[in-house]
Amino acid sequence: MTGMIAAFSITPLGGGDSVGASVAEAVRLVRQSGLPNETNAMFTNVEGEWDEVMSLIRACVMKVGETAPRVSLVIKIDHRPGVTGALRRKVESVERQLAAPMDLPADLPQP
């Protein structure tokens, strides 16, 4: 039973100008976890049970901490016990809305 989506961003601090290699190692752990996930320019999103997601985020912080003396972490959580597949369904819902004809107010230019 899946219960949450976590969007998190890890930033290594004090380890030099380039953070790409450290961040890539954290993303590698996420992808190897087997949990549904996606990575974009700002966050990595992962879906699963509370304990497995939080354990994964901790492992990512520890991995980044191997190459940086300080690690900054931002987490946003959508906790919905009993809900599965939300990571994909949320995006699909928005895409369906975008595909539907849009009713523009009369005072806006029509396409």
Q: For the chain, list the domains and their CATH numbers.
A: 4-88 (3.30.70.930)
Map tokens 């912080």 to a residue: 61
As a whole number of Å, the end-to-end CA separation of the chain is 45
Q: What is the pLDDT of residue 99?
A: 87
Q: What is the pLDDT of residue 1?
A: 57
Q: Which helix (H) or strand (E) holds 20?
A: helix 20-32
Model-level pTM greater than 0.85? no
Helix 50-65 and helix 20-32, axial crossing angle in degrees, nearest 10:
150
Confidence tier at 96 by pLDDT (50, 70, 90): confident
